[in-house]
Chains A and B, each alone.
Chain A
Amino acid sequence: MGEMEQLRKEAESLKDEITAARKAVQDLTLQDHVAGTAVVGRVQLKTRKTLRGHLSKIYAVHWGDSKLCVSASQDGKLIVWDSYTTNKVHAIPLKSSWVMTCAYAPSGNMVACGGLDNMCSIYNLKGKDGNVKVMRELAAHTGYLSCCRFLNDNEIITSSGDCTCVLWDIETGSQKTVFAGHLGDCMSLGVAPDFNTFISGACDFTAKLWDIRDGQCRQTFGGHESDINAIGFFPNGNAVITGSDDASCKLYDLRSDQELITYQDSGIMCGVTSLAPSFSGRLILAGYDDFNCNIWDSLKAERVGVLSGHDNRVSCIGVTPDGMACCTGSWDSFLKIWN
């Protein structure tokens, strides 16, 4: 047997062992555990604000705190909004209009974006003369930038169509760690609440959990039947939610290393573009290609609400850190604040 053939056989055998190890600890299912729990009552959120100003499709939105958020549009602008007043705090023109992602640093000092230029551009919002300028351009990915998230003012993690994720040192512009292992474009990433790990979702239909400091993939979750477009941590850091082109979302438990439940409905036949858990995690808000956003009871896997109001695909969604509101962004060029 050739070396390659031997390695392939070894890989298949290890995957079977992992499947068996997962089954061995499965002595209770989520469905059985919550059999006696009632579904939450109908959730009706209203549009409180519409943020108008972008001239083209919105691809990404990210909350900085519970008032300010940044959005990215293919009109070539990053806009930082005061969501309470709908005022534009900053309107930042981009070198490349093919932007796919944006992020707000936890400190509020910086924002970042990237897309088909394969780069992650970092902008300093607190420059001395009040002007917002490019602080750093992080270039090394050989594919589009699909997502980026700050760890702090000097470190950011990016995911790319080149199938890798990278941890960057912003000051030096260098790659500290390359996270390789996905067999398809990385589409989305989420950082754990304790900042020790992050998760990535990819076009190989899997989600991977990575240790930020040692660069290793700790866990891989399969089950989806198509590209994973959206991923997020559960608020307590012990579970992961994914959204896929296969029209479903899934909940994976990190401690038992397995899928707990799937959120799907025979009436939904279009892909999930984005998702966010509510403050407690009991609700999962998911944006779809059919212009709607469905609200799921995360424990009972039933739809308990819908956010309708956009005239095109809901491309991005985010819940404020204090859980008080969610923001949806759409290809119709508007952002809406709901609660």
Chain B
Amino acid sequence: MVFDIRSHILDSGYVIMNSTSTSDVIGRRVEVNGEHATVRFSGLVPPVAGLWLGVEWDNPERGKHDGSHEGTVYFKCRHPTAGSFIRPHKVNFGVDFLTAIKNRYVLEDEPKEEETEQIVIIGNKPVETIGFDSVIKQQSQLSKLQDVSLRNCAVNGAGDKGEIAKACPNIRSIDLSKNLLSSWEEVIDIADQLKHLEVLNLSENKLTSPSSSPSPTGTFPTLKVLVLNRTGVTWAEVLRCASGWPVLEKLYLESNNIIISERPTDVLQTVKLLDLSSNQLIDENQLFLIAYLPRLEQLILSDIGISSIHFPDAGIGCKTSMFPSLQYLVLNDNQIAQWSFMNELDKLQSLHALSCTRNPLTEGSKDAQTTRQFIIARIGQLRTLNKCAIEPEERRGAELDYRKAFGNEWKKAGGHQDPEKNRPNEEFLAAHPRYQALCLKYGAPEDGELKTQQPFLLKNQLLTLKIKYPNQHDQKVIEKQLPDSMTVQKVKGLLSRLLKVPVSELLLSYESPKMPGKEVELENDLQPLRFYSVENGDCLLVRW
């Protein structure tokens, strides 16, 4: 039985099967009322007469069954409701590439008598269009077309050999997303004729891989950008075809359920940007397999469900040899909840921009400002975080705050201002690998900085002071609790009543265990004790 598709274009651009089927039709991609499907079966389905096509819909809920009908299995589907039987005339097999271009850009078959443009009316007013005929004329110069979009135009293949090369050889960028291409061979047939092709978008086409034979992968000598989002392509297939992309710079593989199964050894070496978003099956170990792509500068890993990472070849505070050129890393919408993740990112040699929103670590009740600061402090070479540049003042503030925030922990772990005695334990160093470097940069945190703010209660404002009388040897040293806001005058008054000495004869000074040998005079009666930095445990010296 000969299969004959006549390119019979009706006004809706549908192609009808003209003859009875053969197995040629199995595996073809088709479209029915906007829904795409793959033909899995063609033949008779008793007891109903006539030819039926069995299709597996892209949308698993669109169908009625899984390919079996009344007990007989006609074809298999991946989902129980992904299959349907459809009459052949209801199915659109698509058009070839050139026909699609002509449909979109040139009204070739339209009768020429209508000079006036179609007027659309909105709200009683006609919509005036400017220059639409010139647009049409311009775009109709197929040979001049450079950037072409044929998204959702039911393209099923290249058409006759060599026609594309004759008609529009200068195409540099083409969007063939959401069409009816069913195999890599078809893509190669089209692309082989476009010698200047730089950008190719094949998203949302379900392409079957070339069989195991290595040759028919085709070469795309100028291709720089390849978009394969939502195509169901596997990593192995990508690598197999990648030998045909010698200068590829950007590769988009979003939402393909990819599992990175092998290391790309001779291929993908020129890739600068790799988008692996929404591939939930990727885990951190798989990432090691792409860690040695020499030119990889931008890696997009949004929404892959990653929660941890560890570079085994680098110890605390060292740089890893993995991802040597990586400058910009996108980790939005993941499951990162540990600060250790950020510590690991500091090991990347070239990282200077990070986007990391909508992770458990950054969401929740935590103060967003503090989280941002801690990320900045933990990753030393970061220059942009969440698309917001990190100014030098911001970095300085963030690092100082981080150093202060963990100062007490550092001390408890064995840290000390004296470099001789400074030996924080391994656990602390693992949790805060940059801490020592920050101490070197800004100095170790002072104890004064580390004092936690006491709540503003009166009892917290009281200073416990010893009172000594250096000139009277018989008087006992007493202890008194005084508020630090108490003025020197009032202290003298208190002491005067205590010692039965007139106020005017009293001379006050104090000494502190922190400053042995030094005595500070409290000469201004009107100033409070805190003006002179009198602290808890100091000793007032009273003379008269």
A binds B: no
